[in-house]
Structure 1
Amino acid sequence: MLGWAITFLIVALVAALFGFGGIASASAGIAQILFFIFVALFVVTLIVRAVRSSS
């Protein structure tokens, strides 16, 4: 999922470079959403692992 976020970030940067504002903002928004989902899943995984290893 982090790979998808990076891909959309690159698309947003390239679109911004060429002046496509709508595409750049949409891609940046998707990248941001995917990044936060990735971070949330990572934190949940860390918590689940900590609970399982302690019991």
Structure 2
Amino acid sequence: MGADLNALRAVAENPEADGDLQFTETILAVVEDLDARLTAIEARLEGPSSQSS
């Protein structure tokens, strides 16, 4: 399913536990997942019938 938002929340609530690097990597994973989802949505919107009204 992509990045786990619960893991992001857990690290965000206690960043000292896992360090700043893991926090940054978790955010990066979420951003990459969202980017992939947006790209897929854009592809669907542009689809075979890309007519503008």
- TM-score band by shorter chain is 0.5 to 0.7
TM-score where L is the length of structure 1: 0.64
4+ residue runs of structure 1 moved beyond 3 angstroms? Answer: none
State the partner residue of 2:2: 4
Counting only pairs closer than 5 Å after superposition, residues 7-46 of structure 1 correspond to structure 2 as 7=4, 9-18=5-14, 19=16, 20=18, 21-46=20-45
In the alignment, structure 2 segments of 5+ residues that lack a partner are none
- 1: distance between equivalents of 2:40 and 2:6? 22
Unaligned runs of 5+ residues in structure 1 are none
Aligned length: 47
Identical amino acids, percent of aligned pairs? 9
**TM-score, normalised with respect to structure 2:** 0.65
